[in-house]
Amino acid sequence: MINKQSIWFVTLFSLILVLSIYYVTMKDSSLAAILENNNSNTTVPVNVDVEESSLLVSLRVSEDESVLKEMENYQSILMDTTKTTEEKNNAYNSLMALQTKKSDEEKIEKKIKETYQLDSFAKISKDTISIVIASTDHSNTLANNIIRSVQELFDEEKYITVKFQNA
């Protein structure tokens, strides 16, 4: 009996075979014309300037590493057949909470970027939000405005700290 997997294999193999025969039998002049058209389209110089504080990058990398370790831990609990249903449920809920926390952190960073045009790093730990701003302007009014705008994202009261680092 022929199964779906073998049909897909034969179909893809046939497609690859037909394309390779077409490529081999193709005239050199038409191949050169195709390559020439591709090269003429890609010669446009593009300048991209992306700068971010090395402090923010290092904070983000270390946070991502710890989150990945936690996620791997929870996923291993979920995949373990010896764990009880309650342990798996707790691991699943913790995994969902971790993803929600990561999503909230990204929302905070996006809001600060859109509203104040500042690069930032946000970390949420229970009811505490720590924000690091890469800016040479260290004003109390800016910090208060950032705290108010971040608090607007949440229904419950949060303890929010803003720390400025030179960009």
Compute, in degrees rounded to 10, the torsion defined by CA atoms 9, 14, 15, 20: 130
pLDDT band at 149 (very low <50, low <70, confident <90, very high): very high
> pLDDT tens-digit profile of 74-120?
888 888 889 888 998 998 899 889 989 999 999 999 999 999 999 99
Q: Is the pTM of this model over 0.75?
A: no
Residue with tokens 């983000």: 60
Residue 135's pLDDT band (cuts 50, 70, 90): confident
**Cα–Cα separations (whole angstroms), residue 127 to 105, 143, 155:** 13, 18, 12
Q: What is the pLDDT of residues 8-39, one digit of tens each?
A: 777 887 878 777 777 777 666 665 666 666 65
Confidence (pLDDT) at 166: 80
pLDDT at residue 140 greater than cutoff 70: yes
